[in-house]
Amino acid sequence: MIPKGIGPRLALVALALGAVALFSEPHRGPFVRLDARELGMIVDSEVDHVTPAELAAWIVEGRSDFRLLDLRSPEEYASYHIPGAENVQSSQLGGYPLLPGEKIVVYSQGGIHAAQGWMLLRALGFQGVYTLFGGLDGWTDEVLYPAPPAGDDPKAKAQFEKAAAMASFFGGQPRAEAGMESAAQPALPKLAPPAAGPAVPVAPRVKKREGC
């Protein structure tokens, strides 16, 4: 039972702590080092996450200074994933080819598995680790199917126009009305097949001379 008074983000980390040892690589031993005070301060200051809008802007800009890791199952990943994401299971993170100085963004459907992945990577010494705020659910609500503003605030309308353009870029569309339930949203966009690369010229086969 989570004690009263603990913030929801700290509660999420508390749940993730229990899974860290299970994901440790055998050659690293059954334990990893954690600075609970440092991690708590990171969570409280909310500098450990990236918003869906921020991530979408990075992708549109074509930034290549971060790694995006999808921690869901291969089947879920194949059905839909955020463009540029790499599929890796939490239990494989300890041996996954990541560089110590890389910026790493992890996400799952909601938040629990991403929090576990964040905790494990921090425990393994990676400093630039972030979670996608709200996970794929947040990406769906804010990027793929943004809701129009309820009022007539010009600033909110301008922000919604930008969000609508972003949704179109990623194959989504704005919702018809504010407060529309997620369950009523259209299906996730179909992933486009990889573009065919240029034909590779094949050198003509030289017939081998027979005899001397």
pLDDT in tens, 82-121: 999 999 998 899 899 999 899 999 999 987 888 889 988 9
The pLDDT, as a whole number, for residue 40 is 53
CA dist 142 and 149 (Å) reads: 12
Low-confidence ranges of the chain (pLDDT < 70): 1-47, 177-186, 191-212
Give the chain's radius of gyration (CA, Å): 22
Q: How many angstroms separate the Cα of 184 from the Cα of each of 9, 139, 176, 197, 205?
A: 28, 16, 11, 38, 59
Order across the sheet with 86-87: list the strands.
49-50, 129-132, 104-107, 67-70, 86-87
CB count in 10 Å sphere of residue 175? 21
Q: What are phi and psi of 162, to 5 degrees?
A: -65, -40
pLDDT at 129: 94
CB 41 within 8 A of CB 78: no
pLDDT at 122: 87
| pLDDT score, position 5 | 39
* Sole residue written with tokens 């939490």: 90
Q: Do 19 and 116 contact (CB within 8 A), yes or no?
A: yes
User: What confidence score (pLDDT) does residue 208 get?
Assistant: 46
Q: What is the model's pLDDT at position 3?
A: 40
Question: What is the pLDDT at residue 168?
Answer: 93
- Nearest Cα neighbor of 74 from 56, 95, 89 is 89
Residue 115's pLDDT is: 87
> Which helix or strand (DSSP H or E) is residue 54 part of?
helix 52-61
pTM over cut 0.75: no
What is the DSSP code string of 180-206? Answer: --GGGSPPPPPPPPPPPPPPPPPPPPP
**What does the pLDDT read at residue 36?**
55
pLDDT at residue 14, rounded to an integer: 43
